Amino acid sequence: MSDTVSRRTVMKAAGATLGATAFAHAMAPLTEWTKELSVDEFLQKHYKELTRDEMARILVHLKAEAKQKYGRDVDIQDLPPQEGVSFGYALNLSVCIGCRKCAEACHQENNHDRRTGNSYIRVLEMQQGSLDLEHGNANYDHPVPAEGKYYLPVQCHQCDNAPCVKVCPVQATWKEPDGIVVVDYNWCIGCRYCEAACPYHARRFNWSKPEIPAEELNPDQGYLSNRVRPQGVVEKCTFCLHRTRAGRLPACLEACPTGARVFGNLLDPKSPIRWVLENKRVFVLKEELGTRPRFFYFFDK
Task: Kindly report, residue by residue over 174-224, the tens digit of the pLDDT.
Answer: 999 999 999 999 999 999 999 999 999 999 999 988 899 999 999 999 999
pTM comes to 0.87
* CA distances in angstroms from 118 to 29, 193, 223, 235, listed in the order given: 18, 20, 19, 11
Pairing type for strands 149-154 and 122-127 reads: antiparallel
Cβ density class 144-167: b for 16+ within 10 Å, e for less: eeeeebbbbbbbbbbbeebbbbeb
Cα–Cα dist 111/134, whole Å: 29
- For 112-171, what is each residue's pLDDT tens digit? 999 999 999 999 999 999 998 889 999 999 999 999 999 999 999 999 999 999 999 999
- CB atoms < 10 A from the CB of 196, how many? 11
Span 76-97, mean pLDDT? 98
Work out the average pLDDT over 79-98. 98
User: Quick one: pLDDT at residue 41?
Assistant: 66
Whole-number pLDDT of residue 16: 46
What is the share, in percent, of the chain residues with pLDDT greater than 90? 83
Instruction: Give the pLDDT confidence score for residue 13 in this predicted structure.
Output: 52
- pLDDT for residue 1: 44
